[in-house]
Amino acid sequence: MSGTDRPPVALVTGGGGDIGRAIALKLARMSTAVAIVDRDEAAARATAQLVEQGGARALAIRADVSLAPDTIAFVEAVETRLGPIGIFANNAGIEGVVAPLHEYPDETFDRVLQVNVKGVFLGLKHVLARMMQRGTGAIINTASTSAIRGRAGLAGYVASKHAVLGLTRTAALDVAGTRIRVNAVLPGPVESRMIRELEGQARDGGIALRRSNATAHGRPQDVANVVAFLASDEAAHVNGAAWVVDGGTTLA
C-alpha cells in the first residue's frame, strides 16, 4: 500500500484482459479507486463497470502502453482525476505468434518487444517518477514463467519476459532505501484468451509448448491474489522478487 492513511489509488494496464480484469477486481478491495488502461476501450470499460458494481470507483482509459505520449497522458489523467497512484500493476502484454525461431517474423519480434518491454519500461519510468516524489508505492510487473525458462516457438515472448524480469530487478535496486517496492509476478499458463490462442497455434504448427509436468492451468484470480499480496504492506520487505504462480510446474 501507499503507507498513507488513505487506501491508495491503483492503476492496472491491460486491465481489459483476463488477468488484468482479475487484478483490477482484487485491487478494488484495497484501493480508493482503480484506473484501468487498455488499448481496447470496450474491454477497459467492461472491467471498470465490474469494479463499480463491486462498489469501488473506477476509471477506464484507452491507451497504447508502448507509446510514451500515451503513457505520460494516462499517468497524468489518473493522478489528476483519482489521486496519487499507490499501486501499479504493469500488466499489459501480447503473445506474438508461435513459430520456430528460424521462421519467426521480424515484425512480430519487434512488436512483442515494443509492447512487453518498452511498454513495461515506460510504465515504470513515468509511474516511478511520481512515486519517487512521494517516496512510497508498490509496482508489480506481470512477467511469466517464460522469464526464467525457454519455450519452443515463442522467441519474441520469451525474450520479452526475460527482459521484464531484468527491468524489475533494476528498478528494485533504483528505489532501494525508499518505501517503494518493485516486484514481478511470473504466472505459468493461465486459463485465458492468451493461452487458448497460443495452444491453438502450437497445435496447428506441431510445436510442443509445454516443457513441464503441468497438469492444470491456473486461474486469473490465482495471479491476482499474489499481485494483491505484493501490493500490500504485508509484503513490505519484498523488493525485486520474481514471484512464480504456476502450481509448482516449472520445478520439473
Ligand X SMILES: NC(=O)c1ccc[n+]([C@@H]2O[C@H](COP(=O)([O-])OP(=O)(O)OC[C@H]3O[C@@H](n4cnc5c(N)ncnc54)[C@H](O)[C@@H]3O)[C@@H](O)[C@H]2O)c1
User: How many other C-beta atoms lie within 10 A of the C-beta of residue 247?
Assistant: 16
- Quote the least distance from Cβ 247 to ligand X, whole Å: 12
Rg (CA), the chain: 17
Given 20, 137, 153, 156, the residue binding ligand X (CB under 6 A) = 20
- Quote the least distance from Cβ 189 to ligand X, whole Å: 5
How far is 126 from 139, CA to CA, in rounded Å? 12
- 214 and 189 Cβ atoms separated by less than 8 Å: yes
CA 67 to chain centre: 16
Contact window for ligand X (CB under 6 A) among 34-42, 51-59, 78-86, 125-133: 34-42
Nearest in space to 224 (alpha carbons), one of 2, 21, 1, 3: 21
Question: C-alpha grid cell for residue 26?
Answer: 482484487
- 215 and 114 Cβ atoms separated by less than 8 Å: no
Residue number with CB closer to ligand X (21 or 181): 21
Contact window for ligand X (CB under 6 A) among 26-34, 91-99, 173-181, 203-211: 91-99
Q: Which residue is nearest to ligand X (CB)?
A: 17
Q: Which of residues 159-218 bind ligand X (CB under 6 A)?
A: 187, 189-190, 192-195
Given 19, 25, 167, 172, the residue binding ligand X (CB under 6 A) = 19
Residue number with CB closer to ligand X (56 or 184): 184
Binding-site residue total for ligand X (CB under 6 A)?
29
Contact window for ligand X (CB under 6 A) among 27-35, 53-61, 80-88, 92-100: 92-100
Q: Are strands 179-187 and 136-142 parallel, antiparallel or unpaired?
A: parallel
Residue that the C-alpha cell 508502448 belongs to? 66
Could you tell me the CA-to-CA distances from 67 to 116, 117, 126 in Å, in that order?
12, 12, 12
Choose, from 157, 171, 209, 220, the residue flagged as catalytic.
157
* Reduced 3-state DSSP string for 113-157: HHHHHHHHHHHHHHHHHHHHHHCEEEEEEECCHHHCCCCCCEHHH
Residue number with CB closer to ligand X (40 or 234): 40
Using rule CB under 6 A, residue 96 touches ligand X: no
104 is catalytic: no
Contact window for ligand X (CB under 6 A) among 10-18, 77-85, 101-109, 204-212: 10-18
List residues binding ligand X (CB under 6 A): 14, 16-20, 38-40, 43, 63-66, 91-94, 115, 119, 142, 144, 187, 189-190, 192-195
User: Active-site positions?
Assistant: 157
